[in-house]
Amino acid sequence: LLRFARCAGQSQARCQSTTAAQPKVVFSGIQPTGIPHLGNYLGALQQWVKLQDSIGPNDTVIYSIVDLHAITMPKDAAQLRTWRTQMLASLLAVGLDPAKSTIFYQSDVPAHTELMWMLSCHASMGYLSRMTQWKSKLDVSDSSTIDSEKVRSKLKLGLFSYPVLQAADILVHRATHVPVGDDQRQHLEFARELAIGFNANVLRAPVLVEPTTLLSPARRVMSLEKPAQKMSKSQGSELSRIYITDSEDEIRLKIRKARTDGIEGVSYDTEARPGVSNLIEMMCHLGGAENVDAIVGECKDLSMQAFKAKVADTVVEHLEPIRSSYLDYLDRPGALRDIAEQGAEKARKRAGDTMKDVKEAIGF
Binding site for ligand ATP (CB under 6 A): 30-31, 33, 39-40, 43-44, 180-181, 183-184, 218, 220-221, 230-235
Q: Reply yes or no on whether 254 is catalytic.
A: no
User: What is the closest distance, in whole angstroms, from the C-beta atom of residue 210 to ligand ATP in the complex?
Assistant: 19
User: What is the closest distance, in whole angstroms, from the C-beta atom of residue 233 to ligand ATP in the complex?
Assistant: 4
User: What is the closest distance, in whole angstroms, from the C-beta atom of residue 290 to ligand ATP in the complex?
Assistant: 20
Q: Reply yes or no on whether 137 is catalytic.
A: yes
Task: Please provide the distance, in angstroms rounded to a whole number, between the alpha carbons at the two ends of the chain.
Answer: 37
Nearer to ligand ATP (CB atom), residue 60 or residue 184 = 184
- Tally of CA atoms within 13 A in the half-sphere of 230 that contains its CB: 19
Nearer to ligand ATP (CB atom), residue 184 or residue 260 = 184
- What is the torsion angle, in degrees rounded to the nearest 10, for the CA atoms of residue 78, residue 48, residue 6 and residue 24? 110
Q: Reply yes or no on whether 356 is catalytic.
A: no
User: What is the closest distance, in whole angstroms, from the C-beta atom of residue 271 to ligand ATP in the complex?
Assistant: 18
Q: Which residue is nearest to ligand ATP (CB)?
A: 43
Nearer to ligand ATP (CB atom), residue 175 or residue 218 = 218
Count other C-beta atoms under 10 Å from residue 300's C-beta: 12
Nearer to ligand ATP (CB atom), residue 69 or residue 252 = 69
Nearer to ligand ATP (CB atom), residue 340 or residue 355 = 340
Nearer to ligand ATP (CB atom), residue 166 or residue 354 = 166
Catalytic residue among 50, 75, 135, 137: 137
User: What is the closest distance, in whole angstroms, from the C-beta atom of residue 259 to ligand ATP in the complex?
Assistant: 15
200 Cα distance to chain centroid: 29
User: What is the closest distance, in whole angstroms, from the C-beta atom of residue 336 to ligand ATP in the complex?
Assistant: 19
Q: Catalytic site residues?
A: 137, 230, 233
